[in-house]
């Protein structure tokens, strides 16, 4: 079931016409559907329900307090990569004892803060980080719960910028080095070895790389056991893809079934999942207004009021996201347009060669914009970042106000 559908010839977000929201709050505008976020979270939670498990939503995908609070109410855990993300989880009412802390560059200050907040586990990515966590935990006279992020060296077959599980990537510890690192960690006085972790990349549409990675991790877990290093949880990361266009990623049930099949006889291991995109992407749209139509020599351009600073994915990864009319027209013939923003960059486009029947003043919706959308927005070209709205059935809630001009220079100082 889709909560962004056409009813009476216009696009709705749950039970509210998107055009009404756009008129009330202006554009560009992010709109999220609470029911979709909840449905996606439950899809993961149900898929692994026969395991002792925890869904740790990857906050980086969409860290708006509205989104985090909806998930916190469901009892979700969270995967964070910074003090800022942890602070958002706390602010949103999330349970810090269900937080895993990923990322290659944790500072001492971030580690201290996370220990004080009693997080569940640090996913450690290097020898040097182990030393640092052990030191900071020693200063606080506590034991830090850790798991080691293994780089399984599998090809996630996704965009090279979002592939993380190859030898050439900066993430995790090589399989061949894992035993040595686990032994070191076990011998450190202020660490408690809890688990094993991996995350091989994002927007994976095939199950094979997940299963390959899991098999490699299970071999390592057995090897650790032979050395009396016992772990209690296995964190398989996130990465499950979503349909942007004609991709057919596995459903969480299919993904979980393939993983469970490999985990037979290992019921003592708690399974942790870190989905981000699969929960948030298709729970959001970016609404934009057509400003001008321009006939170029080779192309037609629909110049809209959203730009690469609002939604970076098309410019950064050549990502394709559907662009659909909010109130489809029958009175105009469709033409092919490059949908571009006002930013002074040739790479500033939201979509290329799209068939659209549009006129200036029309609203368009960029679909699948709930993940890696607003979180990657910037103020480039001194553009205020968009507002964000959560729709809950017939209700629209402003979960982030549109930035105001004075926000653009907040904290800056003139020279007098």
Distances (CA, A) of 254 to 64, 244, 248, 258, 267: 29, 19, 12, 6, 19
Neighbouring C-beta atoms of residue 258, cutoff 10 Å: 15
* 151 scored as a contact of ligand LYS (CB under 6 A): no
Q: Which two tokens stand for residue 87?
A: 């602070």
Of ligand PLP, ligand LYS, none, which one sits near residue 237, judging by CB under 5 to 8 A according to partner kind? ligand PLP
Q: How far is the CB of 255 from ligand PLP (least distance, A)?
A: 11
Question: Per the annotation, does 152 bind a ligand?
Answer: no
Q: Tell me the chain's radius of gyration from C-alpha atoms.
A: 23
- Reply yes or no on whether 344 is catalytic: yes
Taking CB within 5 to 8 Å according to partner kind, which of ligand PLP, ligand LYS, none is near residue 102?
Answer: ligand PLP
Q: Which of 56, 121, 198, 344 is catalytic?
A: 344
Say whether the peptide bond before residue 28 is cis (omega within 30 degrees of 0): yes
**SS3 label, residue 68:** helix
Contact track, ligand PLP, 177-216, x by CB under 6 A: ----------------------x--x--------------
Smallest separation, CB 126 to ligand PLP (Å): 14
Q: Are 291 and 252 in contact (CB under 8 A)?
A: no
E strand segments, 244-297? 270-273, 284-295
Tell which one of 162, 258, 263, 293 touches ligand LYS (CB under 6 A): 162
Site for ligand LYS in 196-225 (CB under 6 A): 202-203
Describe the crossing of helices 83-91 and 108-116 by its angle, rounded to 10 degrees: 30
State how far the Cα of 389 lies from the Cα of 395, in Å rounded to an integer. 10
Site string for ligand PLP, 57-76 (x = CB under 6 A): -x--x---------------
Check residue 313 for interaction with ligand LYS (CB under 6 A).
yes
Task: Tell me the C-alpha to C-alpha distance, in Å, between residue 179 and each of 152, 173, 327.
Answer: 13, 10, 59
Instruction: Report, in Å, the least distance between residue 49 CB and ligand LYS.
Output: 26
> Based on CB atoms, which residue is closest to ligand PLP, 28 or 275?
275
Residues facing 163 on adjacent strands: 201
Contacts of residue 414, defined as CB under 8 A and 6 or more positions apart, other chains included, come to: none
Task: List the catalytic residues.
Answer: 344
Site residues, ligand LYS (CB under 6 A): 60, 162, 202-203, 313, 372
Q: Residues interacting with ligand PLP, by CB under 6 A?
A: 58, 61, 79, 102, 199, 202, 237-240, 274-278
């Amino acid at each position: 079931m889709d909560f962004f559908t056409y009813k009476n010839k216009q696009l709705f977000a749950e039970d509210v016409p998107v055009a009404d929201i756009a008129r009330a709050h202006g554009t560009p505008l992010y709109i999220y559907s609470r029911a979709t976020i909840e449905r996606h979270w439950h899809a993961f939670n149900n898929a692994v329900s026969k395991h002792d498990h925890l869904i740790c939503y990857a906050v980086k995908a969409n860290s708006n307090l509205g989104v985090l609070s909806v998930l916190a109410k469901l009892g979700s855990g969270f995967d964070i990569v910074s003090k800022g993300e942890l602070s958002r989880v706390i602010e949103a009412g999330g349970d810090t004892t269900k937080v895993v802390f990923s990322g290659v560059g944790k500072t001492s200050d971030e580690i201290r803060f996370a220990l004080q907040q009693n997080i569940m586990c640090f996913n450690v990515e290097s020898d040097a980080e182990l030393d640092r966590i052990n030191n900071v935990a020693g200063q606080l006279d506590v034991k830090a719960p850790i798991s080691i992020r293994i780089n399984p060296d599998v090809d996630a077959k996704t965009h090279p910028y979002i592939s993380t599980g190859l030898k050439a990537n900066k993430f995790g510890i090589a399989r061949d080095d894992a035993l040595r690192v686990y032994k070191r960690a076990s011998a450190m006085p202020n660490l408690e070895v809890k688990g094993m972790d991996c995350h091989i990349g994002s927007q994976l549409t095939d199950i094979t790389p997940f299963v390959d990675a899991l098999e490699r991790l299970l071999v390592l877990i057995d090897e650790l056991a032979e050395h009396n290093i016992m772990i209690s949880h296995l964190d398989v990361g996130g990465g499950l893809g979503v349909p942007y266009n004609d991709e057919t990623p596995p459903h969480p049930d299919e993904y979980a079934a393939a993983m469970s099949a490999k985990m037979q006889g290992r019921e003592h291991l708690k399974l942790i999942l870190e989905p981000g995109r699969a929960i948030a992407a298709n729970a959001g749209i970016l609404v934009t207004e057509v400003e001008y139509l321009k006939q170029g020599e080779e192309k037609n351009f629909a110049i809209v009021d959203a730009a690469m600073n609002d939604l970076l994915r098309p410019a950064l990864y050549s990502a394709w996201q559907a662009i659909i009319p909010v109130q489809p027209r029958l009175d105009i013939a469709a033409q092919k347009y490059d949908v571009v923003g006002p930013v002074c960059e040739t790479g500033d486009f939201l979509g290329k060669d799209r068939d659209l029947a549009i006129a200036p003043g029309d609203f368009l919706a960029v679909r699948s914009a709930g993940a890696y959308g607003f979180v990657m927005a910037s103020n480039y070209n001194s553009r205020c970042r968009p507002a964000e709205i959560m729709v809950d059935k017939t209700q629209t809630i402003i979960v982030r106000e549109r930035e105001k001009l004075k926000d653009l220079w907040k904290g800056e100082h003139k020279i007098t």
